[in-house]
Amino acid sequence: MTLDDAEELAVEQALALVGGRNHARDRADDQARERAGDHARDRAGDDARDRADDDARDRADDQAGDQVPHNQNPGKPADPRPTPCSTPSTSASRAPALPWDRARAVAARAGRGGPLAVVRLPLDRALGHVLAEPLAALTDLPSFDTSAMDGWAVAGPGPWTYEEGVSLLAGGGESPTARLPDGTAVRIATGARTPADTTAVIRGEHAHVDEARGLLSTRRPVGTGQDIRPRGQECRSGDQLVPAGTVVTPAVLGLAAAAGYDALPAVPRPRVEVLVLGDELLAAGLPHDGLIRDALGPMLGPWLRALGAEVSGPRRLGDDAEALREALTSSDADLIVTTGGTASGPVDHVHPVLAALGAELLVDGVTVRPGHPMLLARLSPEGPCLVGLPGNPLAAVSGLLTLAEPLLAGLAGRPTQDAYRALVHADVPGHPHHTRLVPVVHRAGRAGGRDHVAPLRYNGPAMLRGIAAADGLAVVPAGGVRSGTEVEILDLPWAPATPWTEGCFT
């Protein structure tokens, strides 16, 4: 049986089961309508049916995915004994999944929950950090009138007399002549202080020197202030140069140095620890005997660093509830990211361990595909947050951008990613009820057409081939979109990336 056949069969079986439930539920609804005519009960029944359908599809997707089911570990038989941290997990005790946009808002608020720490970092260590305070100029820029060109500083109308061998150089201190009398000129270099009463600077290529007569003339008209950078042209002392929350780029470093800074007030990078769960995962070599390579361990660290975090190397814990509990209680990270184990199988320990620790579940499932079983928890009122990612690779990417990205932005003092919309250049199927995140790549418009995004193939929950070619994710609403529709876009941290060609990815 092929993968597609298995998926179709699992979906049919799940929907058949749900259909039976719906039939009984429909009869109860009819009786209720006859008794009370209560429209609200109709709505409640519809919502319950939708949730049952979604749960069935989740189970079908788990069974038909490329990855080995988390509760069927081929390398180790299932242990029927309860683990030290395990508690019964039932769907009745779980909070309803949140809509995708609401889940992102919850994550952003969690990141902004406390005051930001501030450290002063030397310029050579500040790159990539976020400014904790606005950057105000410590001096006028430039701090004195300077020449914008190599040439001649002149005063008054020409022609001008000049003194042979006298030049004004950048960094040369005070001008040899305190003032420049009318009718005179002096050689000057770019960046050098102009003498008082200088009318203009004449570029060297526009000047004509009559050495025999000791006169300077110009081939072009001269305007007052020509090629002079006046004091304070770029800013005055105290002016705000960039606001708090700005990421320190090489250009910001240069601006800060020019404005007189030796160190910058910055927010420390959030510390993140990655815990990889699952006995079926290999750290090296080819998949074999039902074991698969860990794709998330190598991927998440660099991705989280691109989001502005300081990340330690991934820790591989396997399917061990006690090891997970120990890792959570001993961590000094600001954010812990786990991979796998967020569902309700026999070896899915994330929920039971969080319950045993008294953690507060802020998000327990999101109505998004892929990535529905993602979660966000606060381990204690003063402790770190935890983002639980599904084990399938693209589902984990969905969780990373849905929960971890806005949470880290808040912890680092950055604004969350600005939403924008772009035309999609193909029909994109959607989930009947949930948001769908689809890898896309930006394309330039042809023959005067608008720029757009093209959806990429290989976008199943267990696939990375599509996201490897993408520079963004399209946020596709329930029901899908038609070609030419505008959709919200989430940029990947490295967008715009290499200009991929469509090739086999679209």
Digit-coded pLDDT (tens) for 122-165: 999 999 999 999 999 999 999 999 999 999 999 999 899 988 88
Query: What ranges make up the beta strands (E) of 342-384?
Result: 360-364, 366-369, 375-378
The residue written with tokens 């790159």 in the block is: 127
pLDDT at 140: 95
Hey, what amino acid is at 452? H
For 14, list phi and psi in degrees, rounded to 5: -65, -45
CA 66 to chain centre: 27
CA 156 to chain centre: 57
Residue 424, classed as helix, strand or coil, is: strand
pLDDT at 39: 39
Residue 497, classed as helix, strand or coil, is: coil
Query: What ranges make up the beta strands (E) of 414-482?
Result: 420-424, 435-443, 452-455, 472-476
Per-residue HEC secondary structure of 135-171 comes to EECCCCECCCCEECCCEEEECCCCCEEEEEEEEECCC
Q: Identify the bridge partners of residue 487 per DSSP, sorted by sequence position.
A: 422
pLDDT at 94: 66
pLDDT at 66: 35
Per-residue HEC secondary structure of 239-285 comes to CEEECCCCECCHHHHHHHHHCCCCEEEEECCCEEEEEECCCCEECCC
d(CA 211, CA 452): 63
pLDDT at 179: 86
pLDDT at 159: 93
pLDDT at 147: 93
CA 150 to chain centre: 45
Digit-coded pLDDT (tens) for 463-483: 999 999 999 999 999 999 999
Given a contact cutoff of 8 angstroms between Cβ atoms, the answer to whether 63 and 6 are in contact is yes
CA 37 to chain centre: 49
Per-residue HEC secondary structure of 394-408 comes to HHHHHHHHHHHHHHH
d(CA 307, CA 493): 7
Task: With a cut of 70, list the residues of the chain below it in pLDDT.
Answer: 1-94, 172-177, 446-449, 496-506
pLDDT at 115: 84
Helix (H) or strand (E) holding 488: strand 486-491
